[in-house]
Amino acid sequence: MLRRVVVTGLGAVTPLGVGVQRTWQRLLAGESGIVSLAGRAPQERWKQLPSTVAGAVPEGRGEGEWNADDWLDAAEQRRMSRFTQFAIAATEMALTQARWPPSELGKTGRNTAAADDDSPYARTGVCLGSGIGNLEELYDTSMAYAEGGYKRVSPLFVPRILLNMAAGHISMRYGFQGPNHTVSTACTTGAHSLGDAARFIAMGDADVMVAGGAEACLHPLTLAGFARSRSLATPPAGAGTGDTWDARQSCRPFDRDRNGFVVAEGAAVLLLEELGHARARGVPILAELCGYGCSGDAWHMTAPHPSGIGALRAMRRALQSAGLRPRDVDYVNAHATGTLVGDAAEAAAIRTLMLDEGVADESTITVSSTKGAVGHLLGAAGSIEAIFSVLAINDNTQPIMCRHARPVLPAGVKSGDSIDDDDDSGGGGDNDDSSYSSGSKDGGQACSRAANSRGHRPCAAPIRSRPRRGSRGVRHFHATPRDANITERLGDMARQAMRRTVAPYSAFGATREMYQKCTQPAAYSISEEARRTDNVPTTEDGEEIGVGGGLWHDEFNLLASFSTWSQVTMLHMYLLVTRLRCFDKETYQMWQSMLSDHFFQEAEDKMDVVHHITSRGLRQRHLQDLFMAWRGVIVAYDEGLVRGDAVLAAALWRNLFKARPEVDLRHLAAVVSWMRRSVSRLGQMPDESVLLRSASGIFSWPSPEADLALVDRPATQELRALLQQHKENASTSAQGAPAENDVPEANGKGQLAAA
């Protein structure tokens, strides 16, 4: 049987200050540690960056400010990089709180090399990592070597840049001779460190583990790299990049105006201990780490899978490991960094886990992200969020979500008993999740930490207790009690979907599912082999042709290309828009906007990932053209539905079939008939069926045979007659672009004659 793991000590150095309680109290007060670095030297390097805001640890000799002299002597400071110094300070705090090692043993284990395997020092290990580490040392040494050669390189260069030296220095400083382990998995480093450390204890390799992450890479090169990858929060147009832009407003998780994350520095350390070991010492138990799960997206270097499946998998595994159900979770500390893609994917994962798998009622779960206050600590993000989750459990409160002015996603759900869930993710598709529970009289606490959407993420699930304080900056989502009958469920969900407080999040999940039905029919791909061998076929206009399948490609003879995919997707979206117009103006505009957002986001992803259009400017120009095409499609199809089949067929011929003269009239008639039938079906659907993600019943894909069976009696003849009326206009426009509403005539072979 695996041994149980509890938390007995916490230590933190963050942009909100040095010390756990200072950081926590400032977080609850809604304060921010994000500042502008534009005034730092050398200013010419900072000024040219598109974003110069960061979460910087405050320095000085005042309360809560960082002063290395308080923790290290001069010789130690020379040997250690900044992130290692942060790690030492956070470790000292955690050890002091946990009263480890005991005072009778002392805190210097330098003479314990000969100790037996059962000694406290041999049974204490370190698991601490960093995402980037000492980038400044790498940069400065590279410049020095380029200018002065070999002798300009410090003998401390290599020890100062190794990521495992933080764990090594902690081990040497305190004499810990148990497992010494370093994790480096980008943004999930801190979470992975906690999960790995917990497993060392659970498997009996150690009784006590120092676990967490540290980061200190606030350098122009860091911000330049993230800015070039289009990941950083940038100021709005005209706001400038320096002090004129309020840095505190830059990181906006789950906000409609979010546009990137904010790099931050700091360290967070938790002292993990075997339950029986902690009880024997009589130390207070802060929480129990009761579950852990991780996964990989196998999707993209920096972006999560749009569905959030990797994060969902990690969260499920963490809860399964903890023996918990999704409905047991009351609070999720989300990874949510403020990026467009990452937050959306994570929200999708949380929604699937919590709402589709059994959350009970409206006060079941609350979701918030703390990055609006501290920024993204990269390698320390998972561990600082674990600390916030443990503190939330102990104080019966939830951290607020700063800069959450225009929410597009829900913050959570609540239930009677609480479980804390915290998720993290990182570049490369890592996802990690761990679970914690609050302490009780017998020393057991139940808090769980759930997986993040972008990389390996540990997650914490909250304890069983109702929060006393108001949840400022968090929003609540309602789900029907699980013992309700189906009528009550549908009615309640429909009413809640229409409520203003939950509509953005509800609409996001519903429109995502609707959109998936719109984008699937004309899906296509381009193989990596064809790309490597430069063997991707193209049209005369230079558009790449991929590999597709299904009715639109095989039956209607449309190319497996970006233009076909976009036109077929817009056609399906248009049919949904016709139904959404039946709702009130605010609901219609919000749902249509989110539906469009899904489309344009995937369109840019296809340009980048499938077609390798790496220029952001070029992609933006294509998106502008696509936006105009979307507006034109709405106008053209609206006119066709009102004025008749001939006008609708003309719009389809121009847009979907690109005015090809050889188009089979039966195909055109089939699509016209299918559109009419789909609009009729949508009009007959109850509002709740549309809003409650019943997209699977909306479309019955057009079939040339089935639809012609309908239009042939006598609609085919009527359509032919109407098309014939446009013969003259079609002929006169043969030398130029087809005139509006022009469609070629039908020849005797059932094909459209050349215009």
Active site residues: 187, 335, 376
Distance CA(432)–CA(199), nearest Å, equals 14
Residue written as tokens 């081990």? 171
DSSP result, 225-289: HHHHTT-B--PPTTS-SSTTS-GGGS--TTBTT---B-BB-EEEEEEEEEHHHHHHHTPPP-EEE
Residues 6+ apart with CB under 8 A from 638: none
Residues 6+ apart with CB under 8 A from 244: none
Distance CA(409)–CA(401), nearest Å, equals 12
Distance CA(511)–CA(492), nearest Å, equals 19
Residues 6+ apart with CB under 8 A from 265: 15, 54, 55, 56, 57, 82, 83, 86, 215, 216, 217, 218, 377
Strands (E), 64-179: 124-129
- CA distance readout (Å), 630 to 479, 563, 574, 655, 738: 35, 12, 9, 10, 19
Q: Are 311 and 346 in contact (CB under 8 A)?
A: yes
**Cα atoms found within 13 Å of the Cα of residue 165, Cβ hemisphere only:** 21
Distance CA(306)–CA(641), nearest Å, equals 34
Provide Rg for the chain, Cα atoms. Answer: 30
Three-state DSSP string of 117-149: CCCCCCCEEEEEECCCCCHHHHHHHHHHHHHHC
DSSP 3-state percent helix, strand, coil across the chain (nearest 5): 45, 15, 40
Distance CA(736)–CA(388), nearest Å, equals 65
Q: Are 634 and 574 in contact (CB under 8 A)?
A: yes
3-state secondary structure of 456: coil
Residues 6+ apart with CB under 8 A from 481: 360, 361
The candidate with the shortest Cα–Cα distance to 253, out of 470, 399, 418, 431, is 399
Q: Are 289 and 2 in contact (CB under 8 A)?
A: no
Cα 231-232-236 angle, rounded to 5 deg: 120
708 phi and psi angles, rounded to 5 deg: -65, -30
Length of the chain: 755
Residues 6+ apart with CB under 8 A from 10: 20, 93, 94, 97, 268, 269, 270, 271, 286, 387, 390, 391
3-state secondary structure of 365: strand
651: region left, alpha or beta (phi > 0 left; psi from -120 to 50 alpha): alpha
Residues 6+ apart with CB under 8 A from 549: 560
Q: For residue 368, what is the enclosing H or E element? A: strand 364-368
The candidate with the shortest Cα–Cα distance to 414, out of 368, 371, 449, 376, is 368
Dihedral (C-alpha) 629, 633, 634, 636: value to the nearest 10 degrees? 130
The candidate with the shortest Cα–Cα distance to 295, out of 343, 356, 349, is 349
